[in-house]
Structure 1
Amino acid sequence: MSGRIDELGSVERARADARGRATESEWMPYLPASSAPFAPADVDPADLLWAETVAPGGYTHLRVARGTRIRLGDPSGDACAHVLLFHADAPGERLNVADTQKIPWQAYLGTGHPLLSGDGRVLATIVDDTSGHHDAFCGTTSDAWNIEKYGDAHPEGPSPSGHGLLRLAGSKHGLTARDLPPAVTFFQGVRIDSDGTTRWTGSAGPGTSVDLIAELPLVILIADVPHAVDPREDYVVGPLRVLAWRAHPTGPADAVYSASPERERAYLNTIAYAELAGL
């Protein structure tokens, strides 16, 4: 009997110790989302479905319904969000950076820009952008790149690579390294000069944000790591804020829908697919 009492005492002490430790971190999601201290003024906190601060060198992943609005925020001016999108119900359909540049006849991301899959459908639309410093050319950083520049690329180390973190995020949804296409990057921009040189333009500064509307059910993978062509020698990246709430997908009444014949076709393809699938 004494052994049983000692065992129970050990369990009770372990439980008390666990409950006595801090269960909150500035990097963990706020649950409920309405409790987030950084809820924006233009969103009723009661409408928030997700609120999270991603640590510098960290990652997150979301599965969202069609019509969800996702806001990425850069509170410090050093966030660098490398983003991948997958059709949640058919992840073989995923972000295609070439079509994302080709269909709107615009290589630089900004308000009104559709993010397309290789199937001619719009996965998400940028519906608001106060930064303007983004990149759809370079993709995220690789393990080899980070080892050469920083000396380490382990996800748990001081300088994780973007691809390494996206692999981890994707694994939560049954995705492997072979499933990951090139990413788009928000908050740290590049421009291509007339001679073909890739020129890093950095950040627009603290307090900017980018809003996306999910045009289909999505799995969203995000890694917050330095840009591949950031010239700073140190591993410099700031926190990233992620919010999500219910909204509506793009329709014929929205200006972006008919901004060009190519965009209208892409939105028509998307809406037809969604209606047939009952989404």
Structure 2
Amino acid sequence: MHIRRSSEEIAANRARYEDHQKKGLEFAPKALPGFSVLPEPAIEEAQVLHREVIPGGWYYATKVRCGETLRVSLKDGFSSVALIAWSTADTSERLNLPDTVKMQWTTGLSKGRVIFSDMGRVMFSITEDSSGAHDCLVGGSTAATNARYKGALLRDTRDNFVKLAMKIGLDRRDIPAALTLFAPVRVDTEGRFFWNPNLLNSGDYVDLRAEMDMIVGFSNCPHPLDPNPVYAPKPVTVTRLSARPVETDDLCRTATAEAIRGFENNALASL
């Protein structure tokens, strides 16, 4: 159905767009810090709400409340772990990697960046990160990508997330594209994906602060581009930490004009 818009409505929409564009061009993004220090800093036990160790090949789902932090760490050796998320209030709102990349003009998600939902709101702030080696382009493993491991039927991220979604009352259609943590995927000058292990460190970790109430899913399976010929993912530790006050000049909330608008959308939704 064709909807005719009045000249006044068109003019108002254009004025709003031009105002956003002007603010974006005038905004000087804050410089992002370097990677977080290693080894991983100790956590006060009083701050720990739950700690889960995900065995290689398995998956895990948890609820997290706004302001809490999920620390994902490789205490037991290297593994890539895929992540998806839905808003608890409305599971039709979910993690959206294309918007995350588009709105921040980068595929390099690291300390100081945020992760958006498909409704223009911020789901996570990356408050600590020791590597920046996270993949938001390729996605997780499937039965087809696991075919390179000969002689056994092995768990993959696609099937793990289908099982996870069904257990929480969702469907495979509700599964968003997955962000894979600790997967050093980069793009060469010919536009081809490649695996750059030089970006990884022993004992890497990342802290993700929840910016809304969410259901978060993890899958601990080898990434499709991982060159290791052996299926051998190590256990991954996920620690849920209690909320702490956020400063008004918090880097993630003020680094870019896009992040500021995303948090404005978060605030509007809570009214």
Mark yes or no: TM-score above 0.5: yes
The residue type equivalent to 1:168 in the other structure is K
CA contact (8 A) 1:213 1:248 kept: no
What CA distance in whole angstroms lies between the structure 2 residues aligned with 1:226 and 1:41?
Answer: 26
Task: Provide the residue aligned with 2:63 in structure 1.
Answer: 63
What CA distance in whole angstroms lies between the structure 2 residues aligned with 1:251 and 1:137?
Answer: 32
> Does 1:180 find its partner at 2:175?
yes
CA contact (8 A) 2:126 2:252 kept: no
Relative to structure 1, the CA distance from residue 158 to residue 78 in structure 2 (aligned partners, 3 Å threshold; closer, same or farther) is farther
Task: Provide the residue aligned with 2:229 in structure 1.
Answer: 233
Q: Percent identity?
A: 29
Q: How big is the shift at 1:46?
A: 1.9
What CA distance in whole angstroms lies between the structure 2 residues aligned with 1:214 and 1:256?
Answer: 12
What CA distance in whole angstroms lies between the structure 2 residues aligned with 1:144 and 1:158?
Answer: 11
Task: Provide the residue aligned with 1:161 in structure 2.
Answer: 156
* More displaced stretch, 240-249 vs 102-111: 240-249
What CA distance in whole angstroms lies between the structure 1 residues aligned with 2:208 and 2:171?
Answer: 25
Q: How big is the shift at 1:271?
A: 2.1
The residue type equivalent to 2:149 in the other structure is Y
**Matched residue SS, 1:210:** strand
> Does 1:137 find its partner at 2:137?
yes
Relative to structure 1, the CA distance from residue 226 to residue 246 in structure 2 (aligned partners, 3 Å threshold; closer, same or farther) is same
CA contact (8 A) 2:56 2:233 kept: yes
| Bigger Cα Rg | 1
Within-5 A mapping of 1:33-72 = 42-72=42-72
| Gapped regions of structure 2 (runs ≥ 5) | 1-39
Relative to structure 1, the CA distance from residue 252 to residue 99 in structure 2 (aligned partners, 3 Å threshold; closer, same or farther) is farther
CA contact (8 A) 1:214 1:249 kept: no
**Matched residue SS, 2:104:** coil
What CA distance in whole angstroms lies between the structure 1 residues aligned with 2:120 and 2:247?
Answer: 16
Q: How big is the shift at 1:250?
A: 5.7
Task: Provide the residue aligned with 1:28 in structure 2.
Answer: none
Relative to structure 1, the CA distance from residue 250 to residue 215 in structure 2 (aligned partners, 3 Å threshold; closer, same or farther) is farther
What is the TM-score of this pair, normalised by structure 1? Answer: 0.78
What is the TM-score of this pair, normalised by structure 2? Answer: 0.80
Q: How big is the shift at 1:144?
A: 2.6
Q: Which runs of 4+ in 1 moved over 6 A?
A: none
What CA distance in whole angstroms lies between the structure 2 residues aligned with 1:248 and 1:67?
Answer: 7
The residue type equivalent to 2:135 in the other structure is D
| Gapped regions of structure 1 (runs ≥ 5) | 1-39
